[in-house]
Amino acid sequence: MNQRNFFSELKRRNVYKVAVAYAVVGWLLVQITTQVFPIFEIPNWALRLIVLAIIIGFPIALVLAWAFELTPEGIKRTEDVDLAASVRQPRKHAWIVVIAVGAALSVGLFLFGRYLAQTPRLNAREARPEATAGSTIPQKSIAVLPFENLSDDKGAAYFAEGIQDEILTKLANIADLKVISRTSTAKYKSKPEDLKTVSQQLGVATVLEGSVQKARDKVRVNVQLIDARADSHLWAKTYDRDLADVFAIQSEVAQEIADSLQAKLSPTEASRMASSPTNDTQAYDLFLKGEFEQRIANSNFRPESFDQAARWYKEAIARDPNFALAIAQLAICQLRRHWLTDPLTDAEVMEAGRLARQALTLAPDLAEAHVALGLFYYYGFRDYEPALTEFRRAIELQPNNALALSFVAFVHRRQGKWDRTLEELKRSIDLNPRDAYTIGGLAESCVFLRMWKEAEDAARRALTIDPHEATSMRMLLLSSLNRTGNAQGPLRLLATFPPDDLLLPNTGMFDMVIGTRGQTFVLGRDFNAALKACETGAVATNNDWQRSAAKAGIRVLAGDTTGAHKDAEKARDPLEARLREHPHDFRALRALSWVYLALDRKTDAINIAQHTLALLPPEQDAVLGSGNLAALAEIQAQTGATAEAVRNLKKLLSIPAGETISIARLKIDPVWDPIRNDPAFQQLLTTQEHVGP
């Protein structure tokens, strides 16, 4: 059969007609399923299956059109049909009408779908009254609740937490989903009784519950996805695998969730979903132990907890030197220790930076590696712009990374960009609504801005979530004290707090040395109670030099010159040695200025306070810098430099520095007693203080 005859035969056998009709009807079917399936919440894989079947059916339809022919006597093999009779049959044009109608419907549905893509789409559950009446919960939102540890070894809780965390992290990479941070979900049980309340508190439509059972080299993971608003199961699945397949389980669960919520994944997001952080299961087990310990450290702020986490990470890296996630988390762990507890040496900070860069070399698109490098710039050097670049890149890679977003907010706070700070903290809290630490950070920002009521509300909200959150306890005290100038209310409030939980002293002035508890007693002029507070709680558990320096400062304010001198002598040598090793330890610098004051070395006290301010002025750090300026004003007031003290206080009242200075607090704080009757100081008490961003 020559080429001309072949095409004529195609035409005679209606192969062209079948091809066109099949294409139009197939496209119409795709358009219908695309519009209808989401209404009934049919998963994406079903649509993909239909499209695949249509594609596979196309050549089959063409083969059938070639091999068979429709005649008045029915369907016959083409070879059995009389060619002359076939040619004589009248041409029917009905098929043209069918194709035209099908094409019109396809185009109409396509344009209709494009229109819907530009407008909010309600699915079946969202259309119900309880889902739409005032609800702002997005449909594509999920919280992964803590996984229950069903292993015989109850010490394997870290493993169950690790499985949960990795599934959550994979989901957090998907920009089309709202994924609640683990810090918020950790506050709940594995299977809460009232899921509707959980839905409202976390702002999610769905939750994932699960359990993990680990036995030797086997693991069983049970998961179930639940519509939290209706408290109805969407699907459940059990995975029984070898321990080596744990990464595949995490990827499969995350993919099932994404399909169920109809989340759109970019090719990059799909690739990350299927990836695993290491191929060494023992290294991964050690890594999960490090993660578990670092979560404890971030809660209790104890150096030993950070050090234990670092040891687990190092063991994991020793087994797999290319384990980029473990390397990044080790860097983050060491930098958090440096910032929150005990400063590292310069060499140790540089080593943390090297680890962050190593992780990025191994995995350039690892969000945690960018966070690590951002913290190196931020915590290590207060180099804000490169830190922001790294944090923003982490958010691009992992849109639901609430931690990176909060770091952006805290950097902007250091830069004095208060409007942006408040906005970004609120966005971070939206992704992490049960994170008491970030809510406490919002309360602290409001205290700086002298927004006392907003600060109190945020602090109380955080303490409802976590009664032991130290920042929020301090901010609740300060929002009352600095607003009213009445120490009795904060003292009553202090009595309700746990006795040893105010671990982090303020970034303010003298209270950075004696701690919040002792400072509250000092403001109430109960110096004996303040001295007793130095024997318990944060000050007592920190360095010996801090306890002695705190007692020396309290005795100075109480007028006990002899006692102050004795305590100062105990603190002087350790403090001077400390600062030779850590010259930028601002807490030690503050303490040494008070020690010199207690030793009647007034010039040295002033010089140290001025040196501290020169190292970090408010222009470089709006948080700690304003505290350094206030600390200098305190020493100036105590040494007779009245004019200089008043000038610095006036500046502090004109900027967001409410954590350290307010008009109401100036009226009662004994640190200002030496200049209290000075006319310039009295005039200062009648000025207007800065309020708000």
Single out the residue of 207, 198, 194, 190 nearest to residue 150, CA to CA: 190
DSSP-derived letter for residue 13 is T
Pick 89 or 75 by higher pLDDT: 75
Question: pLDDT band for position 508 (50/70/90)?
Answer: very low
> What average pLDDT does this structure show over 538-554?
76
Question: pLDDT band for position 240 (50/70/90)?
Answer: confident
Q: Which of 231-235, 479-483, 653-657 has the lowest mean pLDDT?
A: 231-235
Burial class, 195, CB count within 10 angstroms (exposed 0-12 / middle 13-18 / buried 19+):
buried
Question: pLDDT digits over 141-185, tens only?
Answer: 998 888 888 887 777 788 888 888 888 888 888 888 899 888 888
List domains and CATH numbers for the chain. 3-117 (no CATH), 137-274 (3.40.50.10610), 281-472 (1.25.40.10), 505-684 (1.25.40)
- Model pLDDT, residue 6: 59
Interatomic CA distance for residues 411 and 377, integer angstroms? 11
Interatomic CA distance for residues 300 and 469, integer angstroms? 9
Question: pLDDT digits over 62-73, tens only?
Answer: 677 666 665 555
What percent of the chain is modeled with pLDDT above 90? Answer: 46
- Asked if the model's pLDDT at residue 38 lies above 60, the reply is no
Tokens 């294409």 appear where? Answer: 23
Query: What does the longest C-alpha to C-alpha distance in the chain come to?
Result: 128
Single out the residue of 515, 522, 481 nearest to residue 499, CA to CA: 515
Question: pLDDT band for position 504 (50/70/90)?
Answer: very low
- Model pLDDT, residue 134: 36
- Model pLDDT, residue 515: 74
Q: Answer yes or no: are the C-beta atoms of 236 and 224 closer than 8 Å.
A: yes
Interatomic CA distance for residues 607 and 401, integer angstroms? 43
Q: Answer yes or no: are the C-beta atoms of 445 and 651 closer than 8 Å.
A: no
Q: Answer yes or no: are the C-beta atoms of 418 and 656 closer than 8 Å.
A: yes
Burial class, 658, CB count within 10 angstroms (exposed 0-12 / middle 13-18 / buried 19+):
buried
- Model pLDDT, residue 641: 97
Q: Which of 233-237, 344-348, 512-516, 659-663 has the lowest mean pLDDT?
A: 512-516
- Model pLDDT, residue 197: 87
What's the half-sphere exposure (Cβ side, CA atoms, 13 Å) at 1? 7
Interatomic CA distance for residues 17 and 100, integer angstroms? 12
- Asked if the model's pLDDT at residue 116 lies above 60, the reply is no
Interatomic CA distance for residues 656 and 689, integer angstroms? 9
- Asked if the model's pLDDT at residue 670 lies above 80, the reply is yes
- Asked if the model's pLDDT at residue 690 lies above 90, the reply is yes
- Asked if the model's pLDDT at residue 505 lies above 60, the reply is no
- Model pLDDT, residue 94: 53
- Model pLDDT, residue 192: 78
Q: Answer yes or no: are the C-beta atoms of 661 and 649 closer than 8 Å.
A: yes
Interatomic CA distance for residues 662 and 674, integer angstroms? 18
Question: pLDDT band for position 113 (50/70/90)?
Answer: very low
- Model pLDDT, residue 269: 83
- Asked if the model's pLDDT at residue 447 lies above 80, the reply is yes
Residue 214 is inside which H or E element, if any? strand 206-215
Interatomic CA distance for residues 533 and 513, integer angstroms? 12
- Model pLDDT, residue 100: 59
Q: Which of 117-121, 194-198, 257-261, 262-266 has the lowest mean pLDDT?
A: 117-121
> What average pLDDT does this structure show over 4-21?
63
Give the other-Cβ count within 10 Å of 559's Cβ.
11
